Chain A
Amino acid sequence: MTATRIDRGSNEKTTIYSDGGDLTFERTFDAPREQVWKAFTDPNLVPRWWGPHGTTTTVVEMDVRPGGSWRYVSRGPDREEVTFYGEYLKVDPPKGFEWTFMFDVEGVGPMGGPETFTFEEVDGKTKVTSVGRMGSVEALEGALASGMVKGAVETWDRLEALLAKG
């Protein structure tokens, strides 16, 4: 990709990087593309994997076609509810889709933006790439700069070191 691509904490399985105002996740799954497509677009399958560990998800609405709405309600192990919602923008089975991905952040309001999912079949496996458009480069930089100080906001020394890099 381009020189603006910056790693954002990839691990051995998932590659995470930012490029301009986009935040990208890449991971290859050991399954055929049709199955991955179904996992993302079948309301019965989404609850099996959606959300962090320990999350229970209910698909309230899921109209997989351009202009169609979707809404999932997730309940975490702490019993806190998060609603994810948006609208399908492009649907191209089984190659991928684009939707708006929104969720409400307490004290802030709705956050999110368009997200594109691309499913590529490679040797019987499927590479999934999700690209979330977080808005401007500045917005993403600002978000990540402070995202990385999570837990450090009370520890001003660490915050200082991080901000000083800016």
Chain B
Amino acid sequence: MQQPDPLSTTFAALADPTRRAILARLARGEASVKDLSEPFDMSQPAISKHLRVLERAGLIEQSRQAQWRPRRLRAGPLRDIADWVDQYRRHWEESFERLDDYLRELQDIQEQGKGADDDRDQNRPG
């Protein structure tokens, strides 16, 4: 791999508050560099630099329709990250729920004094 993985690029792009604010603005609809630089008290070149980072991360793109080449949001990379975090969270939240059920089942079996099908190195008084 010659380039960092796509998710790292997306993370790096999202780590900056100005860039998150730019994405928030673009979430309302496409906008020109001039529009985007207004609320930030930043020069247009400074904003352009942030836009390039966002563009490299695939988070925004330039519309080729209009003369002023407005920027607009792209959903793909955000969805990738959202999916990853979602899968991770869901994995542990639900695994812990199932583990809880399983351990309860074991306790019940032990309390009834029957032996579970697995090991028994804990001799809990019934």
Min C-beta distance of B104 to chain A, whole Å: 6
Q: Contact partner of A108 among B27, B84, B119, CB < 8 A?
A: B84
Residues of A within 8 A of B88 (CB): 23, 111-112, 132
B22 CB to nearest chain A CB (Å): 9
Chain B proximity of A53: nearest CB distance (Å): 6
B92-124 residues at the A interface, CB under 8 angstroms: 92-104, 106-107, 118-119, 121-122, 124
Contact size range, A: 35 or more
A39 adjacent to chain B (CB < 8 Å): yes
Chain B residues whose CB sits within 8 angstroms of the CB of A53 once the complex forms? 94, 97-98
| Contact between chains at B118 and A38 (CB < 8 Å) | yes
A5 at the interface (CB under 8 A from B): no
Assuming A14-B96, A132-B88, is B118 touching A44 (CB within 8 A)? yes
Interface size on B, residues (CB 8 A): 55
B82 touches A149 (CB 8 A): yes
Question: Contact at B81–A31, with CB atoms within 8 Å?
Answer: no
Nearest residue in A to B24 (C-beta to C-beta)?
A163
Separation of A89 and B15 alpha carbons in the complex (Å):
29
Interface pair B82/A146, CB less than 8 Å apart: yes
Does B7 have its Cβ within 8 Å of any Cβ on chain A?
A: yes
- Measured CA separation A153–B81 after assembly (Å): 11
By beta carbon, the residue of chain B nearest A45 is B118
Which chain B residue shows the least CB distance to A29? B103
Q: Does A164 contact B (CB under 8 A)?
A: yes
Q: Does A6 contact B (CB under 8 A)?
A: no
User: Distance (Å) between the CB of B74 and the closest chain A CB?
Assistant: 10
Q: Are A163 and B20 in contact (CB under 8 A)?
A: yes
Kindly state whether residue B21 has any CB partner on chain A within 8 Å. Answer: yes
Interface residues of B (CB under 8 A from A): 5-8, 10-15, 17, 20-21, 23-25, 27-29, 73, 75, 78-104, 106-107, 118-119, 121-122, 124
* New A-B pairs, 15, CB < 8 Å, besides A142-B15, A143-B81: A30-B100, A30-B103, A32-B124, A39-B99, A42-B119, A49-B102, A50-B95, A51-B91, A51-B94, A108-B7, A142-B12, A144-B85, A145-B20, A156-B28, A156-B73
Q: What are 5 residue pairs bridging A and B, where the CB atoms are less than 8 Å apart in the complex?
A: A36-B103, A45-B118, A108-B7, A111-B84, A159-B24
Interface residues of A (CB under 8 A from B): 8-9, 11, 13-14, 16, 23, 25, 27, 29-32, 34-36, 38-39, 42, 44-45, 48-53, 82, 103, 105-109, 111-112, 128, 130, 132, 135-136, 138-139, 141-150, 153-154, 156-157, 159-164, 166
